[in-house]
C-alpha cells in the first residue's frame, strides 16, 4: 500500500518515527504484559518459569509480529486480546495461560503509553536542548548588536538582537522545566482491572501495580477508573502545543525580519544550488520558518479532540481510542520535526548588523524619544512635561521629515536643559539598550544546564 500521510514520506525524523512505529508499539505492550507476569511471580500467583518465558518473548525481536497480531484481530475483533493470544502462542501453552492475568485492556495500553511517552519525551528534551544551545550562542554573539525594537509593527526603542534571542532562550528553558514537571504526572502505569477496583487481583492489586510499575521504571496511579485519567495526557499534549507555539513565534519573527524592506536576518541559503522559486530566480524565501509556522498550527489543532477524549461515560468508554491513535504520534512527530527545523534555522541564521544599523538610521532618531524624555526628567522636569516636550519635537520631526536631533535643537527649553552634547547622547541608540549584558548572562546561567 502506498503511503498516505505526509508524516510517512515528507515530515518527521526517523528517531521519533521509530518510537511510534507499529513494531515499537507492540514491543511496549509486550513489555507491560511481561512485567505483569513477573509481578505475579513475585507474589506467588504465577510460576516463575512462566514469567521468565513471557519476558523472553517480550525481549526477542520477531517472537510476536504485527502481522500475526493482525491475523488474530481480524478473527476476534479485539486488538489487545490479539496481542495477548499472540504472546501466549509464542510462549507456549504452559506459560501462555498466564498472560494478562487479572488485567483489563487499558491496564496494558495505558501503561504502554507511558513507556512510549517516556522515550518520546527524551527525544523532545534533546530537541529543546539543541534549540536552546543555538539560541544561547546567538544571544551571546549578538548581545551588543543594536537594532530597532518594534511594537505594533512600528519602531519603538532600540534593543539588541542578542536580547531578542535571549527572550526566546528563556522561554525554551521554561519548556524544559515544564517537561520535567510533566513527566512526574504523565509517566505512570496502572493495573486497576475492570472499572478500577482491582478486584480480579484477589486482594493483591496494589502490590501487583506497584511491582509492575517498579519493573518498568514508571510511577503509578493512586486511583483510576478503567483507564489512566486523561487530565495527565492533557497536560502533556498542552505542553507540546505550548512548545509548538514558541516555535511558531520564533519562526514568525524570522519571517518578519527577513522581509525585503527589513532584511535584518535571513535563513541560510545555498546560492550554488538552492532554488527559491519556480518562476522568480532571485527569490530566497524563509521556507523552513514558514513550514514550522504551518505545522505548529496543525499540532495545536489536535488539542480540541484531546480535551474531548477526557470526558468518558462512567468508568470508561472507547470514544478516545481511535482519536488517540492519531493524536499522540502526530503531535510528537510534528513538534519534534519543528524543533529540529528551527534549530537548523538558528544554527545557520544570517544576521545582518549593517542592515540593522541602516534601519535605525532610517527611523530618523524617533525611536529615541523616550530616551530624550528620561534625560529631561533627570534635569528636573516633571515626567509629564518632559513627555510632552519630547512628543512635540517628535511630531515636528515627522512632519518636517527631519532627524529628531534637529527638532530637539530647535526647541529652546530642550536645548537649554540638555545642550547639544546631551541631545547627541540622548539620541544615540547604542547608549540606550539597558543592562543587556546582565540579562543575557542571567539567561545563560539559568538555562544552559537544564
Rounded-to-integer distance, Cα 105 and Cα 97, Å: 16
Candidate list 152, 197, 282, 377, residue with the active-site label: 152
CB neighbour burial string for 50-64, b if at least 16 within 10 angstroms, e if fewer: bbbbbbebbeeeebb
Rounded-to-integer distance, Cα 297 and Cα 335, Å: 10
Candidate list 24, 78, 277, 306, residue with the active-site label: 277
Whether 152 sits among the annotated catalytic residues: the reply is yes
Q: Would you say 394 and 404 are in contact if contact means Cβ atoms under 8 Å apart?
A: yes
Rounded-to-integer distance, Cα 18 and Cα 4, Å: 18
Whether 175 sits among the annotated catalytic residues: the reply is no
Rounded-to-integer distance, Cα 244 and Cα 252, Å: 12
Q: Would you say 243 and 339 are in contact if contact means Cβ atoms under 8 Å apart?
A: yes
CA 155 to chain centre: 30
CB neighbour burial string for 426-442, b if at least 16 within 10 angstroms, e if fewer: bbebeebbeebeebbee
Q: Would you say 423 and 122 are in contact if contact means Cβ atoms under 8 Å apart?
A: no
What are the DSSP E strand ranges found in 224-333?
265-266
CB neighbour burial string for 184-211, b if at least 16 within 10 angstroms, e if fewer: eebbbbbbbbbebebebbeebbebbbeb
Q: Residue with C-alpha cell 510534528?
A: 334
Rounded-to-integer distance, Cα 34 and Cα 291, Å: 42
Cell of 175: 519548556
Rounded-to-integer distance, Cα 215 and Cα 75, Å: 33
Q: Which among 422, 368, 415, 412 is positioned nearest to 391, based on CA atoms?
A: 368
Q: Would you say 216 and 189 are in contact if contact means Cβ atoms under 8 Å apart?
A: yes
Cα–Cα distances in Å, from 434 out to 149, 331, 431? 13, 39, 8
Active site residues: 152, 277
Amino acid at each position: 500500500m502506498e503511503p498516505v500521510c505526509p508524516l510517512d514520506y515528507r515530515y518527521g525524523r526517523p528517531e521519533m518515527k521509530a518510537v511510534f512505529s507499529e513494531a515499537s508499539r507492540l514491543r511496549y505492550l509486550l513489555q507491560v504484559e511481561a512485567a505483569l507476569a513477573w509481578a505475579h511471580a513475585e507474589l506467588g500467583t504465577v510460576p516463575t518459569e512462566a514469567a521468565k518465558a513471557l519476558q523472553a518473548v517480550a525481549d526477542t525481536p520477531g517472537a510476536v509480529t504485527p502481522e500475526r497480531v493482525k491475523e488474530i484481530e481480524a478473527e476476534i475483533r479485539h486488538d489487545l486480546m490479539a496481542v495477548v493470544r499472540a504472546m501466549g502462542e509464542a510462549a507456549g501453552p504452559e506459560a501462555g495461560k498466564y498472560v494478562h492475568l487479572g488485567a483489563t485492556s487499558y491496564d496494558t495500553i495505558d501503561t504502554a503509553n507511558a513507556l512510549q511517552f517516556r522515550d518520546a519525551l527524551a527525544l523532545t528534551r534533546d530537541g529543546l536542548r539543541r534549540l536552546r544551545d543555538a539560541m544561547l550562542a546567538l544571544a551571546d554573539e549578538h548581545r551588543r548588536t543594536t537594532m530597532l525594537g518594534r511594537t505594533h509593527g512600528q519602531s519603538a526603542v532600540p534593543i539588541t538582537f542578542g536580547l531578542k534571542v535571549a527572550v526566546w532562550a528563556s522561554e525554551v528553558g521554561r519548556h524544559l522545566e515544564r517537561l520535567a514537571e510533566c513527566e512526574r504526572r504523565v509517566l505512570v502505569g496502572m493495573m486497576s482491572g475492570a472499572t478500577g477496583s482491582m478486584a480480579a487481583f484477589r486482594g493483591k492489586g496494589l502490590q501487583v501495580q506497584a511491582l509492575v510499575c517498579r519493573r518498568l521504571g514508571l510511577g503509578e496511579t493512586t486511583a483510576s477508573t478503567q483507564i489512566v485519567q486523561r487530565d495527565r495526557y492533557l497536560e502533556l499534549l498542552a505542553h507540546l502545543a505550548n512548545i509548538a507555539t514558541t516555535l511558531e513565534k520564533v519562526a514568525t519573527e524570522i519571517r518578519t525580519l527577513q522581509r525585503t524592506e527589513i532584511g535584518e536576518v535571513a535563513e541560510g541559503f545555498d546560492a550554488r544550488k538552492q532554488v527559491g522559486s519556480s518562476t522568480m530566480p532571485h527569490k530566497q524565501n524563509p521556507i523552513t520558518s514558514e513550514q514550522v509556522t504551518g505545522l505548529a498550527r496543525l499540532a495545536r489543532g489536535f488539542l480540541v479532540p484531546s480535551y474531548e477524549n477526557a470526558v468518558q461515560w462512567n468508568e470508561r468508554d472507547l470514544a478516545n481510542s481511535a482519536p488517540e491513535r492519531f493524536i499522540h504520534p502526530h503531535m510528537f512527530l510534528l513538534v519534534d520535526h519543528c524543533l529540529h527545523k528551527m534549530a537548523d534555522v538558528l544554527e545557520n541564521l544570517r544576521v545582518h548588523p549593517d542592515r540593522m544599523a541602516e534601519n535605525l538610521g532610517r527611523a530618523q532618531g524617533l525611536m529615541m524619544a523616550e530616551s530624550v524624555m528620561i534625560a529631561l526628567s533627570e534635569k528636573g522636569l516633571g515626567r509629564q512635561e518632559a513627555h510632552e516636550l519630547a512628543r512635540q519635537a517628535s511630531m515636528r520631526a515627522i512632519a518636517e521629515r527631519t532627524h529628531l536631533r534637529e527638532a530637539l535643537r530647535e526647541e529652546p527649553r530642550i536645548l537649554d536643559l540638555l545642550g547639544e552634547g546631551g541631545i547627541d547622547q540622548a539620541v544615540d541608540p547604542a547608549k540606550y539598550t539597558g543592562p543587556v549584558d546582565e540579562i543575557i548572562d542571567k539567561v545563560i546561567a539559568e538555562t544552559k544546564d537544564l
